[in-house]
Every structure is written in C-alpha cells, then in structure tokens.
Structure 1
Amino acid sequence: MSVLVNGSPTEEISIKRGLKQGDPLAPHLFLIVAEGLGALMRTAVDRGQFKPFVVGRG
C-alpha cells in the first residue's frame, strides 16, 4: 500500500499487523490515533506547513 503526498505516491508501506474485526479495543485505539493525528495537523497548520481546507458549508 502507498499514500499520495502532494499528488505523488510514497514508497510502498508493508502492513503486517492489525486488529481483528470486532476487537473491543479497536474503537479506543482509533480515538487515540485520531486525536494524535489531529494534534499533529493543528501543529502543522500553526507552523504554516499544512494548509487546511473546508469541506461543506460549516
């Protein structure tokens, strides 16, 4: 798997582990990762490294 960064794909990422579907920890782990990613994105916006975009009218 690879991710598009500025329209170009990154190097191949090997996914070796994951959680089983229905794992009771999955929602908690998702929230922890989402909070961390949100904090990193806010920091990048504050530093001018990332330009936010609005989706919808809100």
Structure 2
Amino acid sequence: MHNAPYETRNIRHDMAETMLRIGHGCTADDLIGEGFTGRQVELHGPAARDLANARAIRRS
C-alpha cells in the first residue's frame, strides 16, 4: 500500500477510520452516507476493510 498514490492512501485511511468509528456491521450504504462515493467504496472498500481490521487488532 505504500506505493499507492497519495490520494488513494488518504481515501483508504479515511474510509478505514470511518469503518472503525461505525463499528461492526458497517455497510457500503453507511460509508456512502458518510460522504464516500459508491465508486470509492467499490474501489477502496476491501483495502480499507483490511486496514480497519489490522488497526482494530492493534487497538485491542
């Protein structure tokens, strides 16, 4: 992920933080309701989910 463009890293970081804030059961509709576009969720959602999961493990 360190080779991803700056904007992509920011989207993934922001999306992961939003997922953590919403918590278990966060859906694509939740993310869209938080201001992400459907396309961003489609493109970056899986990587953001992985990042959120890794951060959740570190925080516990």
Range into which the TM-score falls when normalised by the shorter chain: 0.3 to 0.5
Q: What TM-score results when the alignment is normalised by the length of structure 1?
A: 0.35
Structure with higher helix content: 2
Q: Which has the higher contact order (CA 8 A, sep 6+)?
A: 2
Larger radius of gyration: 1
Relative to the length of structure 2, the TM-score reads 0.34
